[in-house]
Amino acid sequence: MSVFDHKEFDQHENVAFINDEVTGLRAIIAVHNTALGPSLGGCRMYPYADSAAALTDVLRLAKGMTYKAALANLPQGGGKSVIIADPRADKTPELMRKMGSFVDSLQGQYIVAEDSGIAVQDIKYMAENTAYAGGLSAHFNYLGESADGNPSPATAYGVYVGMAAAVAFRLGKSLADVTVAIQGLGQVGYRLAEHLHAAGAKLIVADTYQPNVDRAITELGAKAVAIADIHKVAAEVFSPCAMGASINSDTIHEIQAVVIAGAANNQLASDDFGEVLLARDILYAPDYVINAAGIIDLYHQSIKSTPEQLKAHIESIGDTLTDIFKRSQAENQATNMIANLLAEAKFKK
């Protein structure tokens, strides 16, 4: 399998493979770019169909982290790692410790954190063999309350702030004056709904897990609609907070909202859809910009800053988005493309 000719290869600085017979660890670490600082990114444990699928994932995700860190104004680069195994069946402390040694062998070029399939305890096992593990220190949240390592409250607050900036830019209104359609009421989506409710926004929601919907109806006065309808309801804002690619060739022409602002990663099924949204005068808040508060939180844990510094940094997401919106308008270019250009200007030498 060739790395340099791979379609997802994009000048990654380092792609390292490990095969450990004793623990059964098979993993890949991809370091995309460290121009702004050491690369940071989650470790994903997943039973990939084959190593080619794992390589595709890790190359793509590592690159995404470079862009996210750059536009979050963090002194960090982008990296990611994948363990090719089933988190329910194959996880052992020894395997995680070996992964820690693998991370350590890169001597700080890559800092590992949680991602799907990996829990805090797994990172703790890794940290026995490396100092380059993030998200473990006991810390406070942006309100100064003590918090565990869950990034979702920070992410939800960042999306809320970013959505307010988008609504102000596109409509000249505050969140109290709009209806928001939220797709997915999980760790981030539900907390976002709480912020919006407190701000006076009206909510329309959908989730495949009915108890989340019931709770939003009872606690937040939300109106529920079918999964298939949430993107096309009459609302000023559509907020994808479930899976990726919710803006695709089936949905894009049905969207009635004039602002799209949500937490999900990879909301556009393809980058080209950014142009379609621009042509339809729908303001899209690029996903990796608006959902970056999780890594902002992680960074502030590592430098042991104050809750006020963390909160201010999260709130700067709104300013970054407004800059993107202004340039998009001035140059008549899609917001996702402007975001990429701004990020590249920071990390490309």
CA distance 191 to 63: 28
Binding flag, residue 118, ligand NAI (CB under 6 A) = no
Binding flag, residue 78, ligand NAI (CB under 6 A) = no
- For residue 267, the minimal CB distance to ligand NAI (Å) is 8
- For residue 209, the minimal CB distance to ligand NAI (Å) is 4
For ligand NAI, how many residues bind (rule: CB under 6 A)?
A: 24
State the CB neighbour count (10 A cutoff) for residue 228. 10
Residue 78 assigned ligand-binding role: no
CA distance 134 to 294: 12
**Of residues 182-201, those binding ligand NAI (CB under 6 A):** 183-189
Binding flag, residue 248, ligand NAI (CB under 6 A) = no
Instruction: Say how many CA atoms lie within 13 Å of 9 toward its Cβ.
Output: 11
Identify which of residues 126 and 263 has a Cβ nearer to ligand NAI in the complex. Answer: 263
CA distance 293 to 167: 19
Stretches 26-34, 72-80, 95-103, 205-213: which one binds ligand NAI (CB under 6 A)? Answer: 205-213
Binder among 76, 141, 152, 336 for ligand NAI (CB under 6 A)? 152
Contact 213, 271 (CB under 8 A): no
**Of residues 286-315, those binding ligand NAI (CB under 6 A):** 291, 294
CA distance 250 to 246: 9
Binder among 206, 255, 289, 290 for ligand NAI (CB under 6 A)? 206
Contact 220, 241 (CB under 8 A): no
| Token pair 């104050």: residue | 306
Residues tagged active-site: 80
Contact 198, 190 (CB under 8 A): no
Binding flag, residue 328, ligand NAI (CB under 6 A) = no
Binding flag, residue 120, ligand NAI (CB under 6 A) = no
| Token pair 């020894």: residue | 94
End-to-end CA distance of the chain: 29
**Of residues 254-273, those binding ligand NAI (CB under 6 A):** 263-265
The closest residue (CB) to ligand NAI is 186
The helix (H) or strand (E) run that includes residue 327 is helix 307-331
Annotated binding site: 184-189
Annotated binding residues for NAD(+), as ranges?
A: 184-189
Residues that bind ligand NAI (CB under 6 A): 151-152, 155, 183-189, 206-209, 212, 227, 241-243, 263-265, 291, 294
